Structure 1
Amino acid sequence: MTHQEIAHHRLVSQKLEKTSKISPQEIVHHMGAIQAQDYAMAKWAIGSRCDATEKEIEEAIDSGKIIRTHILRPTWHFVSAQDIYWILDVSGPQVKRIILADTKKHGYDEKEFGKINSAIEKILTGNNHLTRDEIIQELNLKKISGEYHLSPVLIMMYAELEGLVCNGIMRGKQMTYSLLEEKVPKPTAKLTKEEGLVKLAKRYFESHGPATVSDFSWWSGFSPTICKTVIHSIVTELNSVEIDNQTYWFRTDLSLENSFRKSVHFLPAFDEMLISYKNREASILLEHQSKAFTSNGIFKPVILENGKVIGTWKRTVKKDHTKIATQFFNETENHKKAILFKRIKDFENYLETKIVIE
């Protein structure tokens, strides 16, 4: 299997080869989790995989069918309502340990966070959706350990990881928080840590494969040792191929026939097609990687042709239209650009507004 073939099979696994007729929440459920710190672009990560409009995706998020919260590495992710609790149970404890390692020396331990979370629960009870600033103002926290101020970001992240809060209804362009249990009822049964890790691994390789242990470790936030053990326990439930002394795992029903289709995708910043793998050479040449993402983890929107990144793009929203500017890595002939730009029609349908290409 070549890098080109890996890129193609990932398009299929990630439901990018052809637009799916399933709902936005079903796309998120299939993917396990979709990185979502850039809210506007993250919505397009869902929209590029189904035929839903931006408004329909926003409705799914506001209604609680899709949850936006800190999870996994951690960063913002979209997670489906049916998956939120078990994924939190799996990944929450390890991320909380990272937070506590920094805050304990300043007096903020589990007990202190517990007091803060109790106060947040009282503030938000009754479907009271508030912004982070409004919550922090209501908390009226005092300094602990001299001049140390606990970051509002860490306060809300810890509350998210505890399964207390998640995104509330958007207030214009401002995000609010709500109580998770008021959006999604808590299930009566819980998975063990081992069961949760197995489920997470299967979901990742079924939706992102072919991928390696290192890729899964990067995406999930768990150590390579833990990931190897988990994969060893499900080898009979996955297929694999060896390429350059690396094992790539994928779902058993993924066809490896070379029935490649020509395709063009205008993908959002931080899209799973790039960010969910530690090694990204299958989709973008090493010489072009610095043009698509920075060393400190900022990813740009990219243009894919047949699974390979050939350039970047950006949008500028105007009153009655949206402008699209492109930058190709190599010289691209005008007639070829016209063919590529036909695929921007999907983005136009998604936004329900006119697209103007600069």
Structure 2
Amino acid sequence: MGTPITRDQLLQLRLAHHFPGRDGQTPPGPPGPAGVVDRMLAVQAQDFGQALWAVGSRVRGSTRHEVLAVLDSAEVVRSAPVRGTLHFVRPADLRWMLGLTAERMIKSASRRLAELDLDQRTLHRARDVAGEALAGGMALSRDEFLETLDGSGISTSGQRGYHIIWYLAQTQLVCWGPSDGSQQALVLLDEWAPGNGAPPDRDEALRRFVLRYFTGHGPARLQDFTWWSKLTLADAKVGLAQARSELEEYVYDGASYWALPEVTEPDPLTEGGLLLAGYDEYILGYQDRAPSLPPEYASRIQLAKNGVFKPSLLLDGRAVGTWRRNPRDNTADTAPFAESAISGTEVFDGAIAAYARFLADKRTPEKPRKLNRTRDW
């Protein structure tokens, strides 16, 4: 049985995994924004602008330019390796993750694909069109890509275009690669980020999946991992059995939580309030969010009508309000929960200043490797 911990201790440990101190015993990896994605394994990224801040907020003094640079250098790509939802992920991890998740995701989407009249013949035709259109280093915006499909006789009306792109990403043909204005362009995965070596066998892939999730999200329950990854509980147990010797077990509220050993001190930047991005892994990365997001406040952040997760204020590991970008000066307007007993918002001044610095860097990212496009970069 593991070490009993209180809620405060759980949140302290969780902050240490999301925002590790400089002496944290994390596995070796790249520095900066790419290192954040490497440690987290995957960072939810369907809201592109918020996802950039989700990464940048975990790198002291970072800028939006620096996060965009790791996309333009193919150090990080965007695809849908978990829950069928867009995430930032390292190319070296994407293929083995999809090898474990894609088949189940495609099967779960089969009814919706049928409703959209996207049968295998149509999807295979779309794959051929995409492969030809993007071959040789082509990079197309979403609109350009959909126009290409329409021009080839494959209708993208309604939600068909979205689901075609999703399917092509699940089958490892395309990914979102270089930055393209406020979004990213579509590229061929094997051209933009070529594979490196043979994929791990299934047991090793399951071990990596479990270990890497708890590296960036611990302490968490195995049920949190299965919700996040959408792997079966049986597969999760196999992965945990393989990784257990590399993890520390804690017990909170009668349940086992798993984390990296010796990662106990968060970065000092967490001592003040934090501005979490919308869909931030600190909130969204768990099935049970009650320790950090009290149920009475959940509807303030998670909007049930459309599934949106609003940016949140974090203090001592707990969500205590929401915030939004002030378009006049690129700072943040905070809205603490009235019941949260925050005496003032000064505790968030440092985080607001960091966010303003993050957005203030207006330099144009360096051009990525040469791409043939219909327009100049």
Asked whether the two chains share a fold, i.e. TM above 0.5, the reply is yes
CA distance in 2, matches of 1:111, 1:288: 47
> Is 1:169 matched with 2:178?
yes
**Distance (whole Å) between structure 1 residues aligned to residue 9 and residue 128 of structure 2:** 51
Which residue of 1 is the match for residue 127 of structure 2? 117
Q: What amino acid does structure 2 have at the position aligned with 1:231?
A: L
Are residues 1:159 and 2:168 paired? yes
- Alignment partners' CA distance in 1, 2:243 and 2:358: 38
Instruction: Give 1:322's aligned residue.
Output: 330
Q: In structure 2, what is the Cα distance between the partners aligned to 1:303 and 1:334? A: 11
Provide the secondary structure at the position in 2 that maps to 1:170.
Answer: strand
Alignment correspondent of 1:305? 315
The code of the aligned residue for 1:327 comes to: A
Please, which runs of 5 or more residues in structure 1 have no aligned partner?
A: none
Which residue does 1:23 correspond to in 2? 32
Give the drift of 1:261.
7.1
CA distance in 1, matches of 2:204, 2:342: 53
Q: Out of 225-234 and 64-73, give the one that drifted further.
A: 225-234
1:34-113 matches, within 5 Å, as 34-51=43-60, 52-104=62-114, 108-113=118-123
Deviation at 1:260? 12
Moved more, 93-102 or 118-127: 93-102
1:220, distance to aligned residue in structure 2 (A):
0.6
> Helix, strand or coil: the match of 1:77?
strand
Query: Structure 2 vs 1, CA of residues 239 and 16 (structure 1 numbering), >3 Å: closer, same or farther?
Result: closer
Does the Cα contact within 8 Å between 1:130 and 1:168 map onto a contact in 2?
no
Equivalent-residue separation in structure 1 for 2:10 and 2:106 (angstroms)? 35
Residue matched to 1:241: 250
Tell me what 1:13 maps to.
17
Q: TM-score, normalised by structure 2?
A: 0.84
Bigger mean CA offset, 185-194 vs 203-212: 185-194
Query: Over residues 262-302 of structure 1, what are the superposed CA-to-partner deviations in whole Å (9 max), with x where a residue is unaligned?
Result: 33211110000000011111112111111111235311111
Root-mean-square deviation (CA, aligned residues, Å) is 3.0
Deviations for 1:305-335, whole angstroms, at most 9, x for unmatched residues? 11111111000334xx214211111368897
User: Given the two structures, how large is their TM-score scaled by the length of structure 1?
Assistant: 0.88
Distance 1:59 1:256 in 2: 29
2:291 is equivalent to residue 282 of structure 1 = yes
- Please list every run of 5 or more consecutive structure 2 residues that lacks an aligned counterpart in the other structure: 25-29, 363-377
More divergent stretch after superposition (88-97 vs 262-271): 88-97
Tell me which amino acid in the other structure corresponds to 1:324. Answer: A
Instruction: Verify: 1:345 aligned to 2:353, yes or no.
Output: yes
Whether the 8 Å contact between 2:331 and 2:355 is mirrored in structure 1 is no
Instruction: For 1:126 and 1:84, locate their aligned partners in 2 and report how far apart those are by CA, in whole Å.
Output: 22
Q: Match of 2:211, as an amino acid?
A: K
Three-state SS of the structure 2 residue aligned to 1:200 is helix
The answer to whether the 8 Å contact 1:240/1:248 transfers is yes
Note closer, same or farther for the CA distance 1:117–1:13 as it changes in structure 2 (3 Å cut).
same
Equivalent in the alignment of 2:374: none
Count of equivalent residues: 349
Is 1:139 paired with 2:145? no
Q: Give the aligned residue type for 1:66.
A: V
SS across alignment from 2:287: coil
* 2:6 paired residue number: 2
The question of 1:186 aligning with 2:195 is answered yes
Distance in 2 (CA, whole Å) between partners of 1:261 and 1:165 is 37
CA drift at 1:204: 0.5
Change over 3 Å in CA distance of 1:247–1:194 after alignment to 2: same
Name the aligned partner's letter for residue 160 of structure 1: A
Question: Among 256, 260, 268, which residue is 2:277 paired with?
Answer: 268
Which whole-Å CA distance do the structure 2 matches of 1:230 and 1:90 have between them? Answer: 12
Deviation of the 1:185 alpha carbon: 1.1
Conserved 8 A contact 1:283-1:307: yes
Distance 2:342 2:142 in 1: 47
Q: Residues 62 and 337 from structure 1, CA distance in 2 versus in 1: closer, same or farther, beyond 3 angstroms? A: same
Q: Following the alignment from structure 1 to structure 2, what is the Cα–Cα distance between the partners of residues 183 and 294?
A: 36
Point out the more displaced range, 109-118 or 119-128: 109-118
Alignment counterpart, residue 207 of structure 1, candidates 210, 213, 216:
216
For the structure 1 residues 261 and 33, does the alpha-carbon distance in structure 2 shift closer, same or farther, using more than 3 Å as the test? Answer: closer
- 1:14–1:155: structure 2 CA closer, same or farther, 3 Å change rule? same
Between the aligned residues of both structures, percent identity stands at 28
Cα 1:239/1:19, change in 2 over 3 Å:
closer
SS at structure 2 position matched to 1:83: helix
